[in-house]
Chain A
């Protein structure tokens, strides 16, 4: 079984620039999550999709972050404009259904200078 795929692995941008991350979940997984992990902290949920609908985006900074999951498969997370405090690892995860364990990708490490 192929795992959760994320790209790019690393990204360095200057503040106020925009950036986008891509995620392809495990085939057949209906639920997709984006987490933000700041150095020294645990992952924090940004947004959760069930198929192509949003279940929870209560912690997504909507003034600068956006996410979509077209056709209920791949997902993209965008930051525009980026701030220094957005430097983190962005993890995508998927699960077969809402209450099964999450499978994580290897993440995208974002550095904002």
Chain B
């Protein structure tokens, strides 16, 4: 039962262009969503989050969009840089349940070409 899905295993973009990573979820109880970035041999690092009361959250080059009716969120990186090359995980939680437990997607490997 995959509650959080990232259907694109990989994405390749040119430096300076926009990277768009997508994530779908099935559990309507999820009310908090996060993106993590992971480099090889390191643990995931928190990137950006969004609460279900918002539809957009921006932090520098990173913007997360949430479409609750479609149960879909996306991460936009503009402009993309070679240092952004990593695996990106979408995660979701039921904050109202107050456990902090995160359910992760399978990850999307982003390659930004110079």
Contacts and interface: CB of A to CB of B under 8 A. Distances in A.
B46 A103 contact: yes
B106 A55 contact: no
B101 A105 contact: no
Contacts of B32: 99
Given A42-B4, A42-B89, A102 B99 contact: no
Contact of A40 (B4, B102, B106): B106
B95 interface: yes
Contacts of B36: 104
A101 B98 contact: no
* Range class of the A interface residue count: 20 to 34
B31 to A, nearest CB: 10
B49 interface: yes
Interface string B88-114: 010101010011111111110000000
Contact of B95 (A99, A104, A107): A99
A102 B46 contact: yes
B60 interface: no
Interface stretch (A11-19, A70-78, A90-98): A90-98
B86 to A, nearest CB: 14
A29 to B, nearest CB: 11
A106 B45 contact: no
B16 interface: no
Contacts of A107: 43
A101 B95 CA distance: 11
B46 to A, nearest CB: 4
Contact of A48 (B42, B49, B101, B107): B101
A97 to B, nearest CB: 7
A48 B100 contact: yes
Nearest to A109: B41
B99 A56 contact: yes
Interface of B: 4, 6, 32, 34, 36, 41-46, 49, 89, 91, 93, 95, 98-107
Interface of A: 4, 31, 33, 40-45, 48, 55-56, 91, 93, 95, 97-107
